[in-house]
Chains A and B, each alone.
Chain A
């Protein structure tokens, strides 16, 4: 299905947020996730299904003031 990952449209075979992180080779312990603007805690990623057009954000600590 087509989803939006960190602002880019991609095609994914992943069914859940956890599968998406695995498919895209993210270090799952070093990122935080949000689906459609809502925080998804780590334990819920495996039971959080994706849907066509989902907006997924995968964030990590970066420089900031």
Chain B
């Protein structure tokens, strides 16, 4: 599904902002996630414990370029991540606006071209623009990650119809909704729409009970996928009785 790797769960979980390392560890386990994200930051001596936690999770690691505002910064970060973690996977974020954290599509494409040519397996964090998606695929991306809503906003699928069009436009490219998911129902909706996976962080990390919320998201993602595979009924404008009229008694 993702560059030849099929995770046990279609939920990807971020590792930032948890109240404690123990809660992070338990939330990863409760979510069932097979892929977790991480960043590269200045080593201040507390890195060893986190590295142990990553190893113990048993999850496939997806390093990000969070916070990078230029293609050059993101490319350097990706190269550093590959050496550190021994993986060519990179969640490519190039932020265009400090306030909205909206990805910069031009710098994203520039960085994706360089990294794909260097053999990286790029997961680009992008807007739901179809042309951008096509260019990223041409550059060598085999996964696309459109945003649901701005990072950390919890607004859900802000442009649901555009995302639906994107799903239809790229039937054979794995699509992951990345960012903006605030509630399990929103994750489930994305899965019902046929997205291949959901990546989220804040909704679990900032929940009153992160472990319970992680479990809720794991189940929502699974239910949404099952619903998609089972085929949802088309909506209708008018009521249609579900109980047969045939054989009904005349009692009036």
A residues neighboring B (CB under 8 Å) = 6-7, 26-27, 30-34, 37-39, 41-42, 57-65
CB proximity of B26 to chain A, nearest CB, Å: 15
Contact A62 B83 (CB under 8 A): no
Q: Nearest chain-B residue to A21 (Cβ)?
A: B43
Tell me the B70-95 residues at the A interface (CB within 8 Å). 72-73, 76-77, 79-81, 83-85
Query: What size tier do the contact residues of chain B reach?
Result: 35 or more
Contact of A62 (CB < 8 Å), options: B50, B80, B179? B50
Q: Nearest chain-B residue to A41 (Cβ)?
A: B83
6 sample A-B contacts, Cβ–Cβ < 8 Å, listed by A number:
A31-B47, A38-B76, A61-B47, A64-B14, A64-B63, A65-B64
Instruction: Tell me, yes or no, whether B31 is within 8 Å of chain A by CB.
Output: no
With a 10 A CB-CB cut-off, give which of B15, B17, B42, B73 has the most chain A CB atoms: B42
B residues neighboring A (CB under 8 Å) = 14-18, 24, 37-43, 47-48, 50-51, 54, 61, 63-64, 66, 72-73, 76-77, 79-81, 83-85, 151, 179, 200-202
CB proximity of B176 to chain A, nearest CB, Å: 13
Contact of B81 (CB < 8 Å), options: A7, A26, A27, A32? A32
Contact B15 A64 (CB under 8 A): yes
With a 10 A CB-CB cut-off, give which of A7, A42, A62 has the most chain B CB atoms: A62
- Enumerate the 4 nearest inter-chain pairs by beta-carbon distance, A residue then B residue, closest first: A64-B39, A65-B14, A65-B201, A32-B80
Contact B151 A60 (CB under 8 A): no
With known contacts A31-B43, A38-B76, A39-B79, A61–B50 Cβ distance under 8 A: yes
With known contacts A63-B50, A65-B15, A65-B16, A37–B40 Cβ distance under 8 A: no
